[in-house]
Amino acid sequence: MSDGKKYIYDFSEGDASMRILLGGKGANLAQMWKIGLPVPPGFIITTEVCHKYWEDKATLRKIWTDIESAIARVEKLTDKEFGGKKNPLLVSVRSGAPVSMPGMMDTILNLGLNDETVAALAEASNDERFAYDSYRRFIQMFSDVVLEVEHDKFEEALKKAKESAGVSEDHQLSAEALKKLVAEYKNIVGATGKEFPTDPWVQLELAIDAVFRSWNTPRAITYRKINNIPGDYGTAVNVVSMVYGNLGNNCGTGVCFTRSPSTGENKLFGEYLINAQGEDVVAGIRTPVPISSLAQEMPEVYEEFCRIAKLLEDHYKDSQDIEFTVERGKLYILQTRNGKRTANAAVNIAVDMVDEGLISPQTAVTRVTPEQVEQLLHPQVDPKVKYESLAKGLPASPGAAVGKVVFDADEASECGEKGEKIILVRPETTPDDIHGLFAAQGVLTSHGGMTSHAAVVARGLGKPCVSGAETIKINLKAETFTVGGITVKKGDYLTLNGNTGDVVLGEMPLVAPEFTEKFRRLLEMADKESKLEVWANGDTPDDAKRARAFGAKGIGLCRTEHMFMAPERLPVMQEMVIASTTEDRIVQLNKLQQMQEEDFLGIFEAMDGLPVTVRLLDPPLHEFLPKVPELEKILKDLDPDCDMAKKIRKEISRAIELHEFNPMLGFRGCRLGIIYPEIYEMQIKAIFNAACGLKKRGLNPVPDIMIPLVSTKEEMKRLRAMVEKIAEETFVRENCRVEYLVGTMVELPRACMVADQLAEYAQFFSFGTNDLTQTTFGFSRDDAEGKFLANYVELGILPTNPFAVLDRDGVGELMKIAVKGGKATSPQIQLGICGEHGGEPSSVAFCHHIGLTYVSCSPFRVPVARLSAAHAALGLLQ
């Protein structure tokens, strides 16, 4: 063109920084050229030409002489001639936008072939079959992409050719058959009234025009809209000389990872075929040999390849997945990209590269995703094994489990004690099944969602769970289940894949989880980047130890109600619940206080020096009583005057009195503490007694008291005063002081709205996003998941299950109001989250962005949360 601008760049003229002008692919090819890699010669038509093309379709003509010059330079470099009758130059023509838009436009290979050049190619390759096969493919590809001839017609012709030749595979067609097919293909094009261009220059012009045209197809426009890609970027066009690995025994082609994609080991890991082309490696007809063999077969090429592999790793600072071709003894690098890898390999490569000085710890942290961390924490079905699944449910708790089918929780518990590996199969589980869940390797339910009882408990225990496998019909009496005509009996082996929801008959091989030294180091690097601390939820000393081992910096939620559910304690708790006077209640509470003290001693000791956030009693009291029909059943067989019968009648009457229509919104949380202050007083005494006991033994307990379900300032004010009074009394009596905070679980919309008021008395907020999600949406988790929530996600009414991924528009906005209110009153207020969202990457990122102090999650998810927090701080997770 006459404007003096440069519209064509040879590879030697660009680099990776010129992505906008040259497109991603072009800039990258130029960069490889720049660092001295043997990339096949070629050139790039810039994105500016694309802009001009859309203003004026004659643009291409105007720069045609520049294109001719560029081709001439490629001819010179390759010593081939475009359209030449001896050693013809063939090229590929590809699009290349500044941002990758995969699948937007097909590639045209082998451009430059016609009846004359194909003969030359046959001669040069000494392989007529190869030449005509290339020709056939070119016609098909060009006609489809450029001439817009229906693809099916070519496929049909190819099918017929194979039938008449009596062969089943494309590559079995002889040169003669392919020649006939080429003629047939030309007829197909001719029949459409279009003309297949034989002049390579015309082919080139039409191909480039087609690439530009493709920028504004409806498909491309939609793709850009969805992915927020500016429409004025335009696409560049890459014209690259073809190289072939199948022109003789001094040729070959292969793929190679610079480090093991499976273990991360720092060693070339690849394979190749002599005298073959790329698709032969993929097709699996010939068996490729390991890259190491290349050292014998082509020692110089091997040495060169090793040098290049090292160069690419050094350049891209990451393990590479390289495609290469050797044409007549000359090595060409066709592509390099960051290599895909297993979770384990990702961790090892990242940490190794830090040790090698190749990348910074910060970069290492970005090289592993939270999802990969999740994989590392559970046994997995060996990824090399292929299986057929019997049924599919929801992937409710990750990891894989193998065991014998058991249908009863008691039996599961017995088998577990004997050391048998079992899978508990139930229509759904209840708190009564907890011992069975505990003993099982994994659990399968036919009903219930991602947050059903089974799912929540399994995730808490770190056990795999497949829930809601609705196609399974369980017959509890017969102790069998049937699905798709197959009946599975008690004792049959079953494998659960909690990552995918697959239920597999038989024992699949599992791969053990690895919490390696390198993994530990990676997480420490992550912690250095994070603004958020990661704490864990845990109710027992075992939970606390595990949390600490996984790197938790505190306990963010220690639920006290589980402590009363133990078989020896429940009767005392029940006596407390049915007590008709405060005095009677206090007698029972005194017994419970002893037990609570022991619990707290264990937990505080395990978390020595770190905060333990104890939530005072939360569930409604009726949850501790048996159900009325059960009680009535027992009563029927008793002498009505015996003490037992009297007690049961009292329980029934109290259960009826305490019955609630919506227990979720009922007489629970701090409402209990306000109306029956003696209950909370008991718990607070137990906490401070335990803390002072340890303090005197030289330990450093840090108890934080969390008041649940607060909705008004007055609740917080009264209960904080209660805590302070008892703490002070204990400190004076024990002659010993411990540091503590009093705060609240923010789990009601009103708490968010009046957070400024609550912060007058609360020293910390911990967002209870499980309940907050329930009340914000008006979704009862117990009901919604079974009834409509799955449908809602399927229909696109909700993007995800808001109990799994925090709902930012609703729940998140409320949290922001609470954060703002809390900080306005008390700028130093400690802010955390202790709902299940605390271990989910996107939710952790949200917590980071709104400025929380910590997230607290199940101990098993602590590593996931640690990495997520780092990724959020590094801007990788929004």
User: Which of 71, 405, 563, 754 contacts a copy of itself by CB under 8 A?
Assistant: 754
Cβ nearer to a copy of itself, comparing 273 with 752? 752
Shorter beta-carbon distance to a copy of itself: residue 406 or 670: 670
Answer yes or no whether residue 750 interacts with a copy of itself by CB under 8 A: yes
Per CB under 8 A, which of residues 627..686 are in contact with a copy of itself? 660-667, 669, 671, 674-675
All residues at 6 or more sequence positions from 341 whose CB lies less than 8 Å from its CB, including other chains: 259, 261, 262, 264, 319, 349
417 or 632, CB closer to a copy of itself? 632
497 is a site residue for a copy of itself (CB under 8 A): no
* Cβ pair 345, 264 in contact under 8 A: yes
Name 744's bridge partners.
707, 765
Please state the closest distance from residue 771 (CB atom) to a copy of itself, in A. 7
Task: Choose between 200 and 669: whose C-beta lies nearer to a copy of itself.
Answer: 669
- Contacting a copy of itself (CB under 8 A), which of 774, 801, 826, 843? 774
Task: Give the bridge partners for 510, in sequence order.
Answer: 381
Distances (CA, A) of 527 to 361, 374, 609, 869: 11, 17, 19, 8
What's the min distance (Å) between Cβ of 789 and a copy of itself? 9
> Is 503 in contact with 829 (CB distance < 8 Å)?
no
The phi, psi pair for 40, rounded to 5°, reads -60, 140
**DSSP code at position 625:** S
- Write down the catalytic residue from 50, 251, 256, 453: 453
DSSP state of 492: -
Q: Which of 792, 805, 825, 876 binds a copy of itself (CB under 8 A)?
A: 792
Catalytic residue among 834, 847, 848, 857: 834
Question: Sign of the C-alpha dihedral, residues 383, 388, 390, 391?
Answer: positive
Show the tokens assigned to 530. Answer: 């994070």
Instruction: Kindly state the number of chain residues that form the binding site for a copy of itself, as judged by CB under 8 A.
Output: 50
Using CB under 8 A as the binding rule, whether residue 753 contacts a copy of itself is answered as yes
453 is catalytic: yes
Q: What is the smallest separation between the CB atom of 804 and a copy of itself, expressed in angstroms?
A: 16
- Give the largest Cα separation in the chain, rounded: 113
> Is residue 387 at the binding interface for a copy of itself, with CB under 8 A as the rule?
no
Of the candidates 575, 618, 651, 807, which one interacts with a copy of itself according to CB under 8 A?
Answer: 807
226 contributes a contact to a copy of itself by CB under 8 A: no
**Residue number, 240 or 811, with CB nearest to a copy of itself:** 811
Asked if residue 767 binds a copy of itself (CB under 8 A), the reply is no
Question: Considering the complex, what minimum distance in angstroms separates the CB of residue 812 from a copy of itself?
Answer: 9
Beta carbon of residue 674, minimum distance to a copy of itself (angstroms, whole number):
7
To the nearest whole angstrom, how small is the minimum distance from the Cβ of residue 452 to a copy of itself?
12
Per-position DSSP letters for 248-266, written without gaps between them: STT-EEEEEESS-TTT--S
Query: What is the spatial distance between Cα 365 and Cα 867, in angstroms, rounded to a whole number?
Result: 7
Give the nearer residue to a copy of itself in terms of CB position, either 64 or 792: 792
Q: Is 778 in the site for a copy of itself (CB under 8 A)?
A: yes
For a copy of itself, the closer of residues 73 and 816 by Cβ is 816
Q: Beta partners for 497? A: 400, 502
Query: Please, which residue, 522 or 746, has the CB nearer to a copy of itself?
Result: 746
Q: Return the H-helix or E-strand segment holding 110.
A: strand 108-111
Q: Which is nearer to a copy of itself, 541 or 821 (CB)?
A: 821
Return the structure tokens found at 48.
Answer: 């500016």
Applying CB under 8 A, which part among 127-135, 176-184, 691-699, 803-811 lies near a copy of itself?
803-811
For the CB of residue 6, give the shortest distance to a copy of itself in the complex, in Å: 48
Neighbours of 267 (CB within 10 A): 12
Counting contacts by CB under 8 A, is residue 758 touching a copy of itself? Answer: no
15 scored as a contact of a copy of itself (CB under 8 A)? no
Nearer to a copy of itself, 248 or 677 (CB): 677
User: Under the criterion CB under 8 A, does residue 795 sit at the interface with a copy of itself?
Assistant: yes
Angle at 398 between CA 387 and CA 470, to 5 degrees: 65
- Residue 618 binding a copy of itself, by CB under 8 A: no
Contacts (Cβ under 8 Å, ≥6 apart) of 45: 7, 8, 63, 67, 208, 236, 237, 239
Burial 546-568, CB ≥16 within 10 A → b, else e: bbbebbbbbbbbbbbbebbeeee
Compute the distance between CA of residue 141 and CA of residue 800 in angstroms, rounded to an integer.
40
Measured distance CA(65)–CA(515) in Å, rounded: 62
* Token pair belonging to 444: 């399968």
Q: What are phi and psi of 877, to 5 degrees?
A: -115, 125
Query: In which residue are the tokens 């960051």 written?
Result: 338
Cβ atoms of 752 and 822 within 8 Å: the answer is: no
Using CB under 8 A as the binding rule, the residues of this chain from 681 to 720 that contact a copy of itself are 709, 711-712, 714-715, 718
Sign, CA dihedral 158-163-165-169, equals positive
Nearer to a copy of itself, 791 or 878 (CB): 791
Under the criterion CB under 8 A, does residue 785 sit at the interface with a copy of itself?
no
The least CB distance from residue 651 to a copy of itself, in Å, is 18
Binders of a copy of itself among residues 164 to 203 (CB under 8 A) are none
| Interface region with a copy of itself, contact rule CB under 8 A, candidates 15-23, 137-145, 377-385, 809-817 | 809-817
Q: State how far the Cα of 111 lies from the Cα of 204, in Å rounded to an integer.
A: 7
Shortest distance (Å) from residue 391 CB to a copy of itself: 21
Which alpha helices (H) appear in 317-424, and where do they start and end?
343-355, 361-366, 370-376, 409-417
**773's torsion region: left (phi>0), alpha (psi -120 to 50) or beta?**
alpha
**834 annotated active-site:** yes
Q: Which residues bind a copy of itself (CB under 8 A)?
A: 660-667, 669, 671, 674-675, 709, 711-712, 714-715, 718, 747-750, 753-754, 757, 771, 774-780, 782-784, 787-788, 791-792, 795-798, 807, 809-811, 813-814
Could you list the active site residues? 453, 834
